[in-house]
Amino acid sequence: MIPQHPSAQSTPTASGASRPAGTPNRSVPNTPQRRMPTALDLTRVARQTWALTVDAYRELNNRKMFWLCLAISGLIVALFASLGLGEKTFTFLGWDTRIPHRFTSAGEFYKFVFTLWGVDLWLAWAGLFLAIVSTASIFPDFLSAGSIDLYLCRPISRFRLFLTKYLTGLLFAFLQVTIFTVASFLVIGFRGGEWVPGLLIAIPIVVMLFSYFFCWTVLAGVITRSATGAVLLTVALAVVIAAINGADTALMTTKHVYRLAVEKSRDNPALFGAAELAVASLQRQVEAESSRSEDPEIRARLEANRRALQTLREELRDAESTAQKLEWWYGAVFAAKTVLPKTSETRQMLADTLNVHLFGRRERRAENEVGAAPPMLLRPTWNEVNAAIDREMDERTPAWTIATSMGYQLVILLMAGWLFTRRDY
């Protein structure tokens, strides 16, 4: 028997079967295969996330600003509960202040105080600013040397770590708003005799309003690694939003004033018709007098009426041009407003919702004099201007307000999360 060369002998394959000699090895190299997450994997992820949340909550409790804001909220609720109504005057801790009132019931008084002081002044403004200051240091402190290393050594994705820290800030605002709102609900119920669960709608709306600014604070904190820088950049954003909101309101009102003035003047035959008839009548008198001695007084009156008619026509053309320019500027400001969070619309949505639940009506606009219209044209009434503004504001539905604001927030969070995950620590 002739022995075969070792290279001519059959060799085993990866599956265990023999491969004839001389056949090229075409086996696929061992590569890691992706597998579907099992229930054990999901349980482990849930436990890690819960542990991060508990750790964030403990960190929240250790912050002095958390308890300071909570103490201020408690003080406001205590002052709220200490007020009362006598038969004709206000009372404070049962003491008659001798200050007369016009409220018909205690429930109406407490609901009014809650919307004016509790929501408009505290939750939507002062409390919101304190919450931003309190949570601005979450990411800068976390990114400091030594703090983040304890988390990066664990099998936790950076983006999940980022989201957990972001939710910590939202948890701060949620707890503060919930405690204050529930306490106010109890005060209105026990002291005012009216139980209004609808006022609890303030909790999600105020937290959403806080998230508009907090996502920007997070982005600024990741970039600058400074709590002071994050607060200053957030204040700068608030100033820009306030300026755009002010320009939006002013341009909307002024453009409707000019548009209505042009429409009323152009479509009103009495305005131009009276001037044209006066000019025609005086022209006939001048022509009749031309055959005899011309009366200089009639000629002067004719020239004056002609100048007045010409001025009126020029003012109408100028008003039409101004209305077009205002429409263009309003569109530009509205485009800038669309990509930013809708703080004024969200506050108005909060006010309208609370007014409906507490008083059964929406807030009315203040009636002021219309002073922006051209002096010689027919001015619209304030009711007409308000009606036009209300029709345009009704097009800014709560769905539009929430969707565009959440879209802005999603973009900012993705930018902050990308920087957080890509940066070397």
Most confident of 77-91, 132-146, 300-314: 77-91
What does residue 19 show for φ and ψ, rounded to 5 degrees?
-110, 130
Half-sphere exposure of 141 (CA within 13 A, CB side): 10
Reference 139, options 127, 130, 151, 128; nearest CA is 151
Tokens 């949570």 appear where? 135
C-alpha dihedral sign at 199, 205, 209, 214: positive
Q: 311 versus 262: which is more confidently predicted? A: 262
Report the alpha-carbon distance of residue 26 to residue 339 in Å, rounded: 57
Half-sphere exposure of 212 (CA within 13 A, CB side): 26
Q: Are 110 and 191 in contact (CB under 8 A)?
A: yes
Flag whether pLDDT at 276 surpasses 70: no
Q: Over range 233-243, report the average pLDDT.
A: 96
Q: Over range 381-389, report the average pLDDT.
A: 88
C-alpha dihedral sign at 410, 411, 414, 419: negative
Flag whether pLDDT at 86 surpasses 80: yes
The overall average pLDDT reported for the chain is 81
Q: Are 404 and 143 in contact (CB under 8 A)?
A: no
What is the 8-class DSSP label of residue 196? -
**What pLDDT is recorded for position 345?**
92
The kind and range of the H/E element at 70 are helix 64-82
Report the alpha-carbon distance of residue 385 to residue 370 in Å, rounded: 8
Three-state DSSP at 154 gives coil
Q: Of 21-25, 220-224, 272-276, which range is least confident?
A: 21-25
Q: Of 94-98, 195-199, 367-371, 389-393, which range is least confident?
A: 367-371
Q: Of 17-31, 109-123, 345-359, which range is least confident?
A: 17-31
In the numeric block, which tokens belong to residue 283?
Answer: 């022209």
**What pLDDT is recorded for position 35?**
60
Q: Which residues pair with 84 in a beta bridge?
A: 91
**What pLDDT is recorded for position 374?**
56
Flag whether pLDDT at 285 surpasses 70: no
Angle at 365 between CA 359 and CA 369, to 5 degrees: 150
Q: Are 11 and 17 in contact (CB under 8 A)?
A: no
pLDDT band at 288 (very low <50, low <70, confident <90, very high): low
Flag whether pLDDT at 358 surpasses 90: no
What does residue 364 show for φ and ψ, rounded to 5 degrees?
-90, 150
**What pLDDT is recorded for position 363?**
59
